[in-house]
Chain A
Amino acid sequence: MKRTLAYLSLLFILGVLLYVANPDYGLKFGPGGKEWLSLRYTDDYYIQHGVQEVGGTNIVTDIVFDYRGYDTLGEATVLFTAIAGAVALLRPWRRDER
């Protein structure tokens, strides 16, 4: 009974998400022209001014390391902490060393 209810709720979630994907109501795939400029002016700014302000011709690298540098700093911290935690969990335990 509980399991059937869970699967029914899963089907409900999938139906709602597919309804959202309908272009008439929800998410749009690939608007162009004026609509793109009004919805995504941040992307347009990066494309127009990225080479002049940062210098790299790869706009994604410009965003990752310069415009959104704090994100990359926190992400490097997460990488360091996760690897340190994994290595600390997999070290020999004190009980095993004798």
Chain B
Amino acid sequence: MIQFQFITAFLLIALGIYAFLAKNNLLKLILALNIIDSGIHLLLISLGYRVELNEIPTAPIYTGYETLKSPMVGPLPQALVLTSIVIGVCVLALAIALTINAYRHYGTLDVRALRRLRG
């Protein structure tokens, strides 16, 4: 069985690292940060999956309709990724605010021009 989930996750992470290395715009660097974040979330969620013999696992929620032996996927990675998503949104908001202030100060978003110190 080819594990498409892990391959997609690692491709996303490598794509984000490539954008970090190659791009010079500050907004594109923020997008790269979010792409790496998505790859890590996909990786962690995939680790919680579970294959029983011929049963498809359900979400970890008791609705009263499942049979006694129906398997459930692991709930712990989902809870931790839920925390991580909110942290990602916080980092995004703060980075956007800093980027707006940097553009107002320097007049450009190019990181090569942003290296100079200016009062």
Task: Indicate if A touches B (C-beta under 8 A).
Answer: yes
Picked from A14, A23, A40, A43, the residue with its CB within 8 Å of the CB of B3 is A23
B13 CB contacts on chain A under 8 angstroms: 17
In the assembled complex, the Cα of A10 lies from the Cα of B75 at a distance in Å of 33
Q: Does A1 have its Cβ within 8 Å of any Cβ on chain B?
A: no
Known interface pairs A63-B75, A86-B97. Does A75 touch B47 (Cβ–Cβ under 8 Å)? no
> Residue on A with the closest CB to B64?
A57
Q: In the complex the two chains form, is B49's CB within 8 Å of A29's CB?
A: yes
Q: In the complex the two chains form, is B7's CB within 8 Å of A21's CB?
A: yes
Question: What DSSP secondary structure best describes chain A's contact surface?
Answer: helix
B101 CB contacts on chain A under 8 angstroms: 89-90
In the assembled complex, the Cα of A82 lies from the Cα of B49 at a distance in Å of 33
B58-78 near A? 1/0 per residue, CB < 8 Å:
001111000000011011101
Picked from A31, A50, A64, A81, the residue with its CB within 8 Å of the CB of B82 is A64
In the assembled complex, the Cα of A51 lies from the Cα of B18 at a distance in Å of 45
B63 CB contacts on chain A under 8 angstroms: 57
Q: In the complex the two chains form, is B76's CB within 8 Å of A63's CB?
A: yes
Picked from B47, B53, B62, B98, the residue with its CB within 8 Å of the CB of A27 is B47
- Listed by A's residue number, 27 A-B pairs whose Cβ atoms lie within 8 Å are A7-B18, A13-B14, A13-B17, A14-B14, A23-B1, A29-B46, A29-B49, A32-B53, A57-B61, A58-B61, A60-B75, A60-B82, A63-B76, A64-B83, A75-B86, A75-B87, A78-B87, A79-B86, A81-B90, A82-B91, A83-B90, A85-B94, A86-B93, A89-B94, A89-B97, A89-B101, A90-B100
